[in-house]
Structures are given as C-alpha cells and as structure tokens.
C-alpha cells in the first residue's frame, strides 16, 4: 500500500528553521475549518473544535485507506489563524477577545464526498458538539514569511518580533497571524513544543 507523507512533500512549508526567517510562497490548499472566539486555554468551543477537526480528519484517512484508492497518508497538523477586532487585545494578551479559525489541511486526492461521509460518520458515532461548525473550504496565503518557535506559546513574543522585522524590512504585514502546531502538546515537554509561525506579506 502506498504511503504518502505530505509534510515531507511540502517540507518548505511544514518544516522551518528556528534560526532563520524565510520567505515562502503558499499555494491554495483545501482545509477543514472551524471558526470561533475566546481564550484557547479555557474555551470549551476551542476544545470542541479541535476534537471535531481531528476526528473527521482521521475518519477520512481510514476511509481512503480502506477504500478503492488504497492510499495511506499522514494526517496534517493542526493550524490556527488568529486575530482580534481590536488588535490591542493581542498586545494586552486579552485572550477573551481573540478570534480564531482552527484548521487541518486535507489532501487533494481526498474527495469532498469522502470528507462529507467522514463528517456524517463522526456525527452518528460520537455526537461531538463541534461537528456542526465544521466547514470545508479553500485557503490561500501567497507570499509569506515564516520561522520556527521552540517553547511554550506564552514565549512566542520575541520570535514574532523577529518575523515582523523581517517582513517590515521588505514590504509590510498582511493577512492573519498563522500558527502550525508540529508537537503533540499533551505529551511533549512544553520547552520543546515546535510551532511554525507564519505571516502573509504585502
């Protein structure tokens, strides 16, 4: 059975250096997404969104593996877009005012019908609260800069400053703050958490 590792195939986008900020071109991808608001550390809505995203993504993976395609592939990591109506909420770390879109990229070879079937299967088996907020859509960022942050999310500040300085020297910030979570934070030492921080450029 053929095994596809999209993180390896897209290593320029899903692997990053902690030493150097780099510029990348991000094409249009297909994502399962959930939109929400509030502190990710305390929000039930956030936890439900993440559970729904992973449940459907893994169900779709096994449908493809056991189906006619007979393809095995790695489920992509959780990603998050973050913003606020008043961006001072970020400076003040007022997480209650944060807005987010959590998402997991879906391979092009996984048909929309398979994902719809996976949503239906998870809905009938698990009755997850976040399942009805899922949406499938296209997302494109174009020209971006990115860097790897190693450590807790609460210590991202200096890494983000480096990223923004790189962009400001070349153009300007555009779009939404984007994070890609490479570590399983339930198991990994928080000092070793790996997060790609990406920011679109003008």
Mean pLDDT score, 142-163 = 94
Q: Degrees (nearest 5) of the Cα angle 136, 138, 142?
A: 150
Topology (CATH level 3) of domain 11-27+140-202: Multidrug-efflux Transporter 1 Regulator Bmrr; Chain A (3.20.80)
Evaluate whether 136 touches 103 at the Cβ level (below 8 Å).
no
Predicted confidence band of residue 50 (pLDDT cuts 50, 70, 90): very high
pLDDT of residue 92: 59
How many Cα atoms within 13 Å fall on the side-chain side of residue 76?
A: 26
Q: Under 8 Å CB-to-CB from 175, ≥6 apart: which residues? A: 141, 144, 199, 200
pLDDT at 102 over 80: yes
Mean pLDDT score, 1-7 = 88
Topology (CATH level 3) of domain 30-138: Multidrug-efflux Transporter 1 Regulator Bmrr; Chain A (3.20.80)
pLDDT at 91 over 60: no
State the DSSP code for 21.
-
Q: What is the DSSP string of 34-91?
A: EEEES-TTT-HHHHHHHHHHHHHHHHHHHHHHHSTT-EEEPPPPEEEEEE-SSTHHHH
Sequence ranges of the domains in the chain:
11-27+140-202, 30-138
Same fold, 11-27+140-202 and 30-138: yes
d(CA 94, CA 89): 5
pLDDT of residue 88: 61
d(CA 104, CA 124): 21
pLDDT of residue 119: 96
Q: What is the DSSP string of 139-165?
A: E--EEEEEEEEES-GGG-HHHHHHHHH
């Amino acid at each position: 059975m053929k095994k596809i590792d999209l993180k390896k195939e897209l290593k320029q986008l899903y692997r990053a250096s902690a030493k150097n900020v780099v510029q990348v071109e991000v094409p249009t991808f297909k994502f399962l997404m959930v939109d929400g608001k509030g502190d990710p550390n305390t929000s039930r809505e956030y936890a439900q969104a993440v559970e729904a995203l992973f449940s459907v993504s893994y169900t779709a993976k096994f449908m493809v593996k056991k189906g006619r395609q007979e393809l095995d592939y790695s489920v992509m990591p959780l990603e998050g877009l973050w913003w606020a109506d008043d961006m001072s909420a970020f400076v003040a770390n007022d997480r209650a005012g944060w807005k987010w879109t959590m998402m997991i990229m879906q391979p092009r070879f996984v048909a929309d019908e398979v994902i719809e079937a996976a949503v239906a299967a998870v809905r009938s088996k698990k009755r997850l609260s976040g399942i009805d907020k899922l949406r499938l859509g296209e997302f494109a960022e174009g020209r971006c800069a990115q860097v790897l942050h190693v450590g807790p999310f609460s210590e991202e500040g200096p890494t983000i400053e480096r990223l923004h300085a790189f962009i400001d020297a070349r153009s300007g910030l555009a779009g939404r703050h984007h994070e890609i979570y490479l570590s399983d934070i339930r198991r990994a030492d928080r000092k070793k958490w790996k997060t790609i921080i990406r920011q679109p450029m003008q």
